């Protein structure tokens, strides 16, 4: 894909919906020139705010839609900004379900200006249904009590920690942001349901006995909208190890008021029971907390208390430290 990027946040007011832009800022900063936001936006990556023309002058090659909203819809109110980007000499990269060419006149303009419209959320052709066949190699899957709370960050951090210990490990991307960071993967939420498990098998194929595939989780088995993709990924990836991701303080599932967040214990139990269908040896190594909204002392105290209560490591992979080292040890135990 054309890089580096100007990250487009539109008029986003929900931080969780800006996870694509935030993920690229945190894990691929060398690919980011700045951000472009519209009036009304309350979310920022903290990068310098630039117009498309200013970004292009600084070397940007594409405007990347850094939003992953409910339903993956590109708002028509964003059209003038996308037109501005094309006219400034930038390609447009999107990870939304909606195709860029569906916006009125955008494809015609891109053609006239010889600019690219690149939709990342396209699953590959020829996917098979899941076979349930046990594959060689080792697999770790991040699962969650909810959406947008750290499954991708946790998988990236664990894959990096495995590699730092000299292990053969790959991060396997299953969402648009992970694909943009890793350069490859399958957007699981764009796969037809019958082929979800097969797609999960495809991204974590047979490997050497000591090789680890660290697979980015999607959604939550408890989310009334996105449980289907979570179950297909769980069955198809056949994880030997799961790490449960959670954001302390969140009480309702994202975007669905009235649906209470499950407990960590419920999340462990359900994932192990359903995951055991394709890998009876599945186990939970520990819990990953997203404590970005807490100060360091408060976060450390909470994670220590929860670790003692649950009887397993609890860590924030972004904070790192001894707690995260213990979580990595438990994954490899």
The domain that holds 247 is classified in CATH as 3.40.50.300
Please give the residue range of the domain that contains residue 21: 5-119
Tell me, what's the pLDDT at 195?
Answer: 97
Do residues 154 and 281 both lie within one domain?
A: yes
pLDDT for the residue numbered 16: 80
Are 32 and 4 contacting, i.e. CB atoms less than 8 angstroms apart?
yes
The enclosing domain of 103 has a CATH number of 3.40.50.720
Could you identify the residue written with the tokens 């939420």?
189
Beta bridge partners of 288: 245, 315
Name the domain count of the chain: 2
Q: What pLDDT digit, counting tens, does each position of 202-248 carry?
A: 999 999 999 999 999 999 999 999 999 999 999 999 999 999 999 99
Which pLDDT band holds residue 279 (cuts at 50, 70, 90)? Answer: very high
Report CA-CA distances (Å) from 306 to 147, 193, 310: 21, 35, 6
d(CA 224, CA 321): 35
Predicted pLDDT of residue 15: 86
User: Quick check: 70 pLDDT over 80?
Assistant: no
Domain-located, residue 128: no
Same domain as 172, residue 311? yes
Both 68 and 197 in one domain: the answer is no
Q: What is the pLDDT of residues 91-130, one digit of tens each?
A: 999 988 899 999 999 999 999 999 999 999 888 899 999 9
* Sign of torsion over alpha carbons 230, 236, 237, 243: positive
DSSP, collapsed to helix, strand or coil, labels residue 143 as: strand
Q: Which residue has the tokens 């249904």?
A: 129
Clarify whether residues 70 and 152 are in a common domain: no
- In this structure, the answer to whether residues 219 and 301 fall within a common structural domain is yes
Residue 70 belongs to some domain of the structure: yes
Domain assignment present for 299: yes
Q: What percent of the chain has pLDDT over 70?
A: 100
Residue 126 lies in a domain: no
pLDDT category at 268 given cuts 50, 70, 90 is very high
- For residue 115, what pLDDT is reported? 97
- Indicate whether 43 belongs to any domain: yes
Asked if the model's pLDDT at residue 136 lies above 80, the reply is yes
Strand order in the sheet with 314-315: 169-172, 212-215, 138-144, 241-246, 283-289, 314-315
């Amino acid at each position: 894909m054309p890089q580096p990027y100007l990250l487009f946040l539109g008029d986003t007011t929900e931080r969780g919906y800006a996870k694509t832009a935030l993920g690229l800022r945190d894990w691929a900063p060398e690919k980011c020139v700045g951000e472009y936001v519209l009036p009304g936006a309350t979310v920022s990556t903290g990068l310098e705010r630039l117009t498309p023309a200013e970004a292009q002058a600084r070397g940007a090659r594409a405007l990347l839609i850094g939003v992953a909203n409910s339903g993956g819809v590109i708002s028509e109110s964003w059209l003038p900004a996308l037109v501005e980007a094309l006219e400034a000499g930038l390609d447009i990269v999107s990870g939304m379900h909606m195709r860029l060419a569906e916006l009125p006149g955008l494809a015609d303009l891109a053609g006239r200006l010889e600019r690219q419209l690149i939709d990342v959320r396209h699953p590959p052709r020829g996917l098979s249904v899941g076979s349930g066949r046990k594959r060689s190699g080792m697999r770790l899957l991040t699962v969650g009590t909810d959406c947008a709370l750290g499954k991708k960050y946790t998988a990236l951090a664990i894959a990096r920690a495995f590699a730092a210990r000299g292990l053969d490990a790959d991060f396997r991307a299953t969402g648009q942001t992970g694909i943009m960071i890793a350069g490859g993967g399958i957007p699981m939420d764009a796969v037809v349901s019958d082929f979800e498990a097969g797609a999960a098998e495809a991204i974590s194929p047979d490997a050497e006995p000591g090789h680890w595939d660290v697979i980015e989780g999607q959604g939550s088995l408890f989310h009334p909208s996105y449980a289907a993709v979570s179950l297909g990924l769980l069955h198809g990836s056949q994880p030997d190890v799961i790490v449960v991701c959670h954001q302390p303080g969140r009480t309702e599932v994202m975007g669905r008021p009235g649906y209470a967040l499950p407990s960590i214990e419920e999340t462990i139990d359900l994932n192990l029971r359903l995951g055991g269908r394709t890998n009876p040896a599945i186990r939970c190594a520990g819990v990953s907390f997203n404590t970005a909204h807490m100060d360091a002392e408060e976060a450390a105290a909470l994670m220590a208390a929860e670790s003692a209560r649950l009887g397993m490591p609890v860590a924030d992979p972004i904070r790192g430290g001894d707690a995260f080292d213990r979580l990595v040890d438990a994954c490899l135990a």
